[in-house]
Amino acid sequence: MKLWGGRFLKEESSEAAAFTHSFGFDIRLARQDVLGSLAHARMLARQGILTQGEGAQLESALTQILGEVELGEAPFDPASEDIHSAVEMLLRERLGDVAGKLHTARSRNDQVVTDLRLWLKEQVAEVDRLLLGFQAVLAVRAEEHQDTILPGFTHLQHAQPVPLAHHLLAYFWMLERDRGRLADCLRRMDLCPLGSGALAGTGFPIDRHFTAEELGFSGPTLNSLDTIADRDFVVEFLGFAALLMAHLSRLAQEITLWAAPEFGFVELDDAYATGSSIMPQKKNPDVAELVRGKSGRVYGHLLGLLAVLKGLPLAYNSDLQEDKEGLFDTVDTLTGALTAFTGMIATARFRADAMERAAALGYSNATDVADFIAWQGVPFRQAHEITGRLVVACVDSGRRLEEMGTEELRAFWDGFPDGYRVPDARASAAARSSFGGTSPERVREQLSAAAALLPPDTLTDARARVNG
């Protein structure tokens, strides 16, 4: 059954059908399509466009189909052009001609964008739940490792020592920004397109506010032409997803490095690692590597849709059929990545001993010496120069800064007081007490702020997962 066959004298070729039909992937919108049809049928009967009897017939049959969809048992014809045709065909088999009245005052154009918004709203809620769960695991692991010190890096060189808690919380705040972007995306997505018709609305006395309320939207869209052409909500979600995957990929890169013997900062649980088919000793960080690799496909989906949209005249064009497969794959990729990554971080064993040994290397406490000299009134540029010469001497002699005695230090600057000792990595991190810094009290502030953003049950579940 075609929804558009009256104008045509020939059947669609099998080649054209194979290329243009979307049922193979938009069947994922079956539930949303039936929900939209239910709301539309109720509105048509309520407005007197259909009789109460016709409305009741449609509602009963659609409710039955909805139940079948939710059980995965809906007998859709796989040769259907799209999910909208499949639902209407099934309805016609069961109701006869009255099924054809359901399409009064609507178009596939407003159907598909309504379906897509409904589906994506549900996915947003699930992605946000997974993000919260991952944030909670990061917060719990940070709580455990407030006293674990590791080297902080710039240019992948030792820079200044930081607590592991501070490092993990950096990703917590990245994810919090991601959640903010997701919420912002949802706010603009939460308008109902149904009733916009093909592009110009309809002359039937429909009630778009009623259907919007029935479907859980905050209201109807305002411009029918914009509504049909709009895929900004998909682009915004893909943009959110691309940045989230960038954040996950950065942590994935660090975990991959930290798991290498040269670092030895983390040992992954066997359940979140894989082996080699030839090298028996291998324990590979595949979850992290695949998150890093899959970020590229999410970026590709974003750029692909932007390329589709950039030259489209208003309103609907079949190019917009390309909005779905990339979106579906992005949601699958995100949910899979967040689920696996959360488990990997929850079960990982952070090697505090290896981190602290590394933190003692690389002269990452040199800035503390320069700061001390500057505190005595020496311009910081001069303090920097003095400390740089001191580091060179330590490098040449193979010694650490904290191993230098007061007299040795005075050879570079005579203002060092009696008994002065260069702080070690732990003291260095503890000294940075500026707001947002690495001192114990500032890290505790961060932990409190993070906990305040998490639902108590989510935090409880994360603690059970980490400790279990």
Q: Which residues, listed in sequence order, are joined to residue 161 by a DSSP beta bridge?
A: 151
Active-site residue flag, 145 = no
Phi and psi for 269 in degrees, rounded to 5? -65, 145
Q: How far apart are CA 48 and CA 450, in angstroms?
A: 53
Q: How far apart are CA 46 and CA 55, in angstroms?
A: 8
Query: How many whole angstroms from its chain centre is CA 232?
Result: 17
Beta strands in 105-201 (DSSP E): 149-154, 157-163
Take residue 273 and report the two structure tokens written for it.
């690692």
Helix or strand or coil: residue 143?
helix
The catalytically annotated residue of 218, 276, 397, 433 is: 276
Helix or strand or coil: residue 244?
helix
Q: Decide if 196 contacts 224 (C-beta within 8 A).
A: yes
Q: Which residues, listed in sequence order, are joined to residue 267 by a DSSP beta bridge?
A: 349
Take residue 163 and report the two structure tokens written for it.
């607590």
Amino acid at 294: K
How many Cα atoms occupy the beta-carbon half-sphere of 401 within 13 Å? 27
Q: How far apart are CA 256 and CA 288, in angstroms?
A: 6
Phi and psi for 162 in degrees, rounded to 5? -140, 155
Active-site residue flag, 247 = no
Q: How far apart are CA 162 and CA 364, in angstroms?
A: 10
Concatenating the DSSP letter of every residue in 200-217 gives: T--SS---HHHHHHHTT-
The catalytically annotated residue of 13, 14, 155, 277 is: 155
Q: For tokens 């939207």, what's the residue? A: 217
Closest CA to 120 of 334, 393, 299: 334
Residues 6+ apart with CB under 8 A from 17: 81
Take residue 206 and report the two structure tokens written for it.
């429909």
Which residues belong to the active site?
A: 155, 276
